[in-house]
């Protein structure tokens, strides 16, 4: 399909005529993240936005940008409401994102990320102690 | 702040009128930094006066089938609009308050933007 590159009306830029727009719910939330070796890390559970805070006036000199992707327990407030204390956020900085497409490619190894600690802990402390849990299924 | 704190929040106009709830947030992709994705800058809020559900991509006017699903979602989100981030004055716990009256920007890229100088008819 041909897309108009330049909108006729200046406000037309908000309608995303050139496909450079990213809608959070549509293009980001719940997308799969893969590491350098295509190992699944997790899905995008929430997004941290830098440059705007609840209860404060918006500073239009500094437009808000995506600072990090949150994973793990960050999904709980989305399901049950409430908010998660900042100390419990498992973050993957936006500067580690290599490409945002149908999957989000992260420029890091899954095992090196703090965000996957729970998965590693369960693998080493629980799964590994089940007989046959230390090798791939045959 | 978190994205989940913005989603499903009410939007209040300058005169205290409720415009709807935020069903999605639109970012704009910046230029790529060598082999990394560019910054995503928040540019607009997608506000629906009737429904809190996602629009599943139908709002952009580029997806229109199956026709029944498209019609149902269009009806659920009738009179949905884009609110430029520049119009937002303050983000509270339970509402986003506008400081400037927002222009009428329909979500569908095929629909023109009404020109207030010409009685609200879409610009050519």
Instruction: Report the C-alpha gap between B101 and B81 in whole angstroms.
Output: 13
Cα–Cα dist B29/A37, whole Å: 25
Residue B18: phi and psi, rounded to 5, are: -85, 125
Q: What is the pLDDT of residue A47?
A: 93
* Minimum Cα–Cα distance from B82: chain A residue: A14
Alpha helices in chain B (DSSP H): 3-6, 67-76
Interface mutation vs chain A, best among B6, B11, B23, B26, most A CBs within 10 Å:
B26
Nearest-CA distance B92 → chain A (Å) = 5
CATH class held by domain A22-129: mainly beta
Task: Quote the pLDDT of residue B55.
Answer: 73
pTM of the model: 0.83
pLDDT score at B43: 93
Beta-sheet strands, E only, within A1-136:
21-23, 32-34, 40-43, 46-50, 65-71, 90-93, 97-100, 104-106
Distance from CA of A51 to the nearest CA of B (A): 8
- List, for residues B8-62, the tens digit of each pLDDT value: 899 999 999 999 999 999 999 999 888 899 999 999 999 999 877 777 777 766 6
- Domain range summary for chain A, segments of one domain joined by +: 22-129
Structural domains in chain B, sorted by start: 3-111 (2.30.30.240)
Chain B residues within an 8 Å CB radius of A74: 2
Spell out where chain B has E strands: 10-12, 18-29, 40-48, 81-84, 88-91, 95-98, 105-106, 114-115, 121-122
Q: Using CA atoms, how far apart are residues B38 and B35, in angstroms rounded to an integer?
A: 9
Q: What is the mean pLDDT of chain A?
A: 86
Higher pLDDT, A88 or A48: A48
Q: How confident is the model at residue A32 (pLDDT cuts 50, 70, 90)?
A: very high
Please give the distance of CA B11 from its chain centroid, rounded to a whole number: 11
Give the model confidence (pLDDT) of B62-107 as tens digits: 677 788 888 888 788 888 889 999 999 999 988 999 999 988 888 8
């Amino acid at each position: 399909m041909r897309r108009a590159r330049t909108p006729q009306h200046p406000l037309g830029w908000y309608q995303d005529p050139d496909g450079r727009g990213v809608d959070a719910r549509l293009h980001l939330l719940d997308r799969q993240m893969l590491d350098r070796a295509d190992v699944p890390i997790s899905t995008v559970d929430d997004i941290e936005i830098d440059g705007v805070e609840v209860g404060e006036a918006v500073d239009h000199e500094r437009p808000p940008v995506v600072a990090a992707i949150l994973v793990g327990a960050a999904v709980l407030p989305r399901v049950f409401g409430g908010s998660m204390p900042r100390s419990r956020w498992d973050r993957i900085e936006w500067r580690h994102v290599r490409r945002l497409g149908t999957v989000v490619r992260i420029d890091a190894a899954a095992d090196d990320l703090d965000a996957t600690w729970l998965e590693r802990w369960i693998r080493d402390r629980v799964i590994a102690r089940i007989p046959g849990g230390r090798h791939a299924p045959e | 702040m978190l994205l989940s704190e913005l989603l499903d929040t009410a939007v209040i106009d300058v005169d205290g009128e409720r415009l709807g709830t935020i069903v999605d947030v639109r970012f704009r992709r910046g230029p790529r930094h060598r082999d990394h994705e560019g910054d995503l800058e928040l540019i607009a809020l997608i506000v629906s006066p009737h429904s809190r559900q996602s629009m599943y991509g139908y709002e952009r006017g580029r997806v229109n089938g199956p026709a029944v699903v498209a019609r149902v979602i269009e009806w659920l989100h009738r009179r949905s609009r884009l609110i430029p981030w520049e119009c937002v004055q303050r983000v509270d716990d339970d509402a986003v308050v506008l400081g400037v009256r927002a222009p009428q920007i329909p979500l569908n890229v095929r629909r023109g933007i009404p020109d207030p100088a010409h009685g609200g008819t879409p610009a050519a």
